[in-house]
Amino acid sequence: MVRSSVLGYPRIGADREWKKALEAFWSGKLEETAFHTQLQEIRLDHLRKQQEKGIDFIPVNDFSYYDHILDTAAMFGMIPQRFPYEGGVVPLSVYYGIARGTKDAAASEMTKWFNTNYHYIVPELAGASPILTENKPLAAYREAKEKLGIEGKPVIVGPLTFLKLSKGYSISELDVWLERLLPLYVRILQELAAEGVQWVQMDEPILVMKLSAADVQRLNNIYETFAASVPNLNIMLQTYFESVEHYSDIVALPIQGIGLDFVHGLSGNMQSIKALGFPADKILGAGVIDGRGIWKASLRGKLKLLDELVELVTPERLIVQSSCSLLHVPVTTEIETKLTSELKNSLAFADEKLDEIVFLTKALSSGSAGILAELDKCDRTIQDLQQSGERNRIGIQQAVAALSVQQPKRSRPFAERYSVQQAKWQLPLFPTTTIGSFPQSAEVRKARQLWRKGEWNNEQYADFIREQIDIWIKLQEEIGLDVLVHGEFERTDMVEFFGEKLAGFAFTQNGWVQSYGSRCVKPPIIFGDVAFTEQMTVEETKYAQSRTQRPVKGMLTGPITIMNWSFVREDIPREQIAYQLAYALRQEVVALEQAGIGMIQVDEPAVREGLPLKEDEQADYLAWAVKAFRIATCTVQETTQIHTHMCYCEFHDMIDSIEAMDADVISIETSRSHGELIHSFELNTYKLGIGLGVYDIHSPRIPSVEEMTGMIERALRVLNAKLFWINPDCGLKTRGLEETVASLRNMVVATKIARAKHVATV
């Protein structure tokens, strides 16, 4: 009999109950005991929902107080030495200190989880002595069984994946660390087996990446050790996000089940199974429901795929499941009341995906004769959206088709632009600026709410925004910044704001997903052809420029970031969506320039997040991502300075593509990774303007002048001082007024110290 499973469920709750509890605890409004109680209630509610839906294998230990990789590090007592820790269960003060930083210690690095929009805390192994502080999977299993009678499936991050995603050790030490960790994993599994656990989900998404022969041998050692230590425990080796590498080696491992992604890894995984077969002694976890996308599945198409798999794997050895954890999608469409029925009926969030999994499982077991009506209904829903006017803007399609065969470029090369821009702007050595946003206070959020509810008219709201701009233009001048910004007080989110002003977008009321920690975002839905309909940023930027003699940057979000931070349609290639967005943004760039704005920042913090996991697909993606940026920015005059910004990700392996974007100035995150990106410029010469973020804005601390001076000096050892800018890592929207002003003042002081030291050598 075919069974059903899920790889993980969203933590945040339908109304972001999880986020609210975390932030109440951090602010001191919720004491620790009550905090634990609230999170347990949320956790049990999620388990109960999966139970009631009819999922056979319900994941436990997928819930987290912040991040599942941080949980794994804490479970093994791997606490960075700068945090006070004396052993035992890691206190919440230390746990959250690692994630968010403290007054005395910088937070650990945060980076993206493979090619998703989720970001995890990078474990730091240097100086750590692994020890099992608590068996979290066991506690989660016991809770589900005792409270709800659920025979849960504990989820554990596998040893190879955990080590590969960690830092603070050399490649030559990998086997040493594996020897240290394996006994701890064995102990966890033995305790689970002794408790009566039937199945464990061992997540090894690293197996979809390129592996060395040594890695394959390590994999064998790991799972042979597990097989010998817990012979009666069933291990589902779970992969996701792409097709696995070294398929024949993986299916030969001494494990009881293998989970494969048949959405994003469909072609490669299906090819491997058909060519090499699937072991008769193993269970196949068939990830046929997309755990990352929000579109309703073609049930008829999924059944056809499952029928193909049943020819290769007998039904009793098949589990129908999500392609990955449902962490990456919103909770439910039930509470969405403002979407058109045509669009809402085409969506499937986490709860709806549970229904799809159960439906397919039952259909596969009982046959399709009794479910034809449901299949026909699904087909009609998909067809109705496909035939809508929103997806058939012929003028946009023709314009983008013409652009896609061109090679966009600026009218003059950077070296020539640099000279005329310096003559125009007369900026000092090491110009200072910020990334764009300033603190969105409770007053700002309240004003926006009053306007959205209709209690304020447009003019009242515009007056308020102008007042905020006035305050912050004056503050920036007092602090001593060289290039100013208007502060983005009219914007809720850097993607949502633009989507609301472009055709082809839709917005949910509660379509929240976790980005990192308690930071939740509500991605727009790109469901139709994207089109420019009105000026989006000109009014506020032009007003800000009128209040100062210093240059004010226009602020836009770039086409690739808008695409990668949205849920996008699946009926056309992503490249085409990117070009539609770029064409729309080009029209806004032209409008800003015509309004007298001579510096325009087009942010691309998420350009790397769309990078394919397979190396042979990466060059093509980067080529059209760069092209999209250039389509958006190439029409400006040589005196107009184009800026961009990137953060959240590792960029050392795409410096060439960043340079190919041909932005006059790029600001890029480096402080959170403790300056590691700077090493890239020791190996690669960067010839355009660049600002490396000198302090981490995600941490609620005020960095010292000395700290920032050290970052500046290290950067200047490898970067051209004439082209070097100084700025924070990212926007300051989430920070408070006092810490923002204090941090920026320190940044300006550090800049003056650097100018005094280097002015004679430039």
Binding-site residues, in ranges, read 16-19, 112, 117, 435-437, 488, 519-520, 565, 603, 609, 645, 647, 669, 730
DSSP 206: G
253, 219 contact by CB (below 8 A): yes
Q: What are phi and psi of 615, to 5 degrees?
A: -60, -35
Round to whole Å and give the CA distance between 504 and 184: 51
Per-residue CA distances from 508 to 290, 338, 494, 500 (Å): 19, 8, 16, 11
Residue in the structure block whose two tokens are 């398929």: 247
Per DSSP, the residues of 348-381 read --HHHHHHHHHHHHHHHHH-SGGGHHHHHHHHHH
β-pair partners for 692? 668, 726
Buried b (16+ CB within 10 A) or exposed e, 572-586: eebbbbbbbbbbbbb
Query: β-strand 318-322 against 153-157: which pairing, if any?
Result: unpaired
Buried b (16+ CB within 10 A) or exposed e, 54-85: ebbbbbbbbbbbbbbbbbbbbbbbbbbebbeb
Please name which of 71, 106, 64 lies closest in space to residue 674, comparing C-alpha atoms.
106
- Residue 741 tokens read as 């002003």
Per-residue CA distances from 607 to 110, 113, 116, 657 (Å): 16, 14, 12, 10
Round to whole Å and give the CA distance between 523 and 609: 15
For residue 621, the SS3 value is helix
Q: Annotated binding residues for 5-methyltetrahydropteroyltri-L-glutamate, as ranges?
A: 16-19, 112, 117, 519-520, 565, 609
Please name which of 71, 72, 43, 68 lies closest in space to residue 58, comparing C-alpha atoms.
43
Residues 6+ apart with CB under 8 A from 311: none
102, 701 contact by CB (below 8 A): yes
E-only strand ranges, 300-418: 318-322
Round to whole Å and give the CA distance between 236 and 441: 47
Residue in the structure block whose two tokens are 């690293």: 206
What is the chain's Cα-based Rg? 26
Q: Annotated binding residues for L-methionine, as ranges?
A: 435-437, 488, 603
Give the number of other CB atoms < 10 A from CB of residue 594. 10
Helix, strand, coil percentages (3-state) for the chain, rounded to 5, are 50, 15, 40
Q: How far apart are the first and last CA of the chain?
A: 74
Round to whole Å and give the CA distance between 17 and 512: 11
Q: What are phi and psi of 556, to 5 degrees?
A: -125, 155
Per-residue CA distances from 149 to 2, 48, 87, 351 (Å): 22, 10, 33, 21
672, 698 contact by CB (below 8 A): yes
Q: Which residue of the set 68, 264, 698, 758 is catalytic?
A: 698
250, 219 contact by CB (below 8 A): yes
Q: Annotated binding residues for Zn(2+), as ranges?
A: 645, 647, 669, 730
Give the number of other CB atoms < 10 A from CB of residue 114. 19
Q: Is 758 a catalytic site residue?
A: no
Round to whole Å and give the CA distance between 671 and 381: 48
> Can you list the pairs that 755-760 forms with residues at least 24 positions away whose Cβ atoms lie under 8 Å?
755/428, 755/429, 755/430, 758/429, 758/430, 758/716, 758/721, 759/429
Query: Which residues are tagged catalytic?
Result: 698
